[in-house]
Chain A
């Protein structure tokens, strides 16, 4: 399982775009990159998953450079409700055991 490194915390304001970067230098060929969001007193919630280049869904975008040694979760126009902890996970499809890193605590202020 590839080890990931994320910033411990980030601050932002409502309406801004937030980019959270994750480093995963030893990512393997079959590994996918997945992001989860966790609110207090709740289990983590899947946000987005990608393998290379760019993936976009209704809540976020995921940018993965060609070498795949890092990835960036982009949250457009954050709101107060986006205040949460965000986890980056790396592993290959079908490998269902998740190893969570320390995560990034995002605080969105008015």
Chain B
């Protein structure tokens, strides 16, 4: 398994500001993923982050709005830029340590934009 932590666990931010969410894994992993989950909804993949390369974004998500860093094999950040109330959501990171579909998720960051 993998132990994943996220910081902050929650935050309340004003519109127009930016928030950077950190994701730390207890071991080295090749790929890390960032998801968004709006209240009562399913998870939507934002982007896939490989160490040493640009993140790959899913349709509807752009780098200017959600810049991602992946400086090493155990850490990644997701920034939610120029926030609006529509960005209020839970943001989760996940990793896949072995080939297969078993992924491990962090506890999530609950973001509220006022």
Chain A residues, Cβ within 8 Å of B108: 41-43
Q: Which of A88-110 contact B (CB under 8 A)?
A: 89, 91, 93-103
Complex CA gap A94/B42 in Å reads 22
Residues on B with C-beta less than 8 A from A43 are: 4, 92, 94, 104-108
Using Cβ atoms and an 8 Å threshold, which residues of chain A touch B42? Answer: 87, 100-103
- B31: nearest chain-A partner, CB-CB: A96
Given the known interface contacts A87-B42, A98-B45, A103-B42, the answer about A32 and B105 at a Cβ–Cβ threshold of 8 Å is no
Contact partners of A102 in chain B: CB under 8 A = 42
Given the complex, which residues of A lie within 8 Å of B106, measured CB to CB?
A: 43
Interface bin, chain A: 20 to 34
In the complex with contacts A42-B108, A43-B107, A97-B45 CB distance below 8 A: yes
**Interface of B: prevailing SS:** strand
**Given A97-B33, A97-B48, A100-B43: A49 and B101 interface contact (C-beta under 8 Å):** yes
Query: A94: which B residues are within 8 A, CB to CB?
Result: 99-100
Closest approach, in angstroms, between the C-beta of A51 and any C-beta of chain B?
11
Q: Please pick, from A93, A96, A103, the residue contacting B103 in the complex, using a CB distance under 8 A.
A: A96
A103 to B43, CA, bound (A): 10
A46 interface residue (CB < 8 Å to B): yes
Given contacts A42-B108, A43-B106, A43-B108, contact A99 B101 (CB under 8 A): no
User: How many whole Å from A99's CB to the nearest CB in chain B?
Assistant: 7
Q: Which A residues are CB-close (under 8 A) to B101?
A: 32, 34, 49, 89, 91, 93, 95-96, 98
Which A residues are CB-close (under 8 A) to B102?
Answer: 34, 46, 49
Say if the beta carbon of B24 comes within 8 Å of chain A. no
- B→A interface (CB under 8 Å): 4, 31, 33, 42-45, 48, 92, 94, 96, 99-108, 110
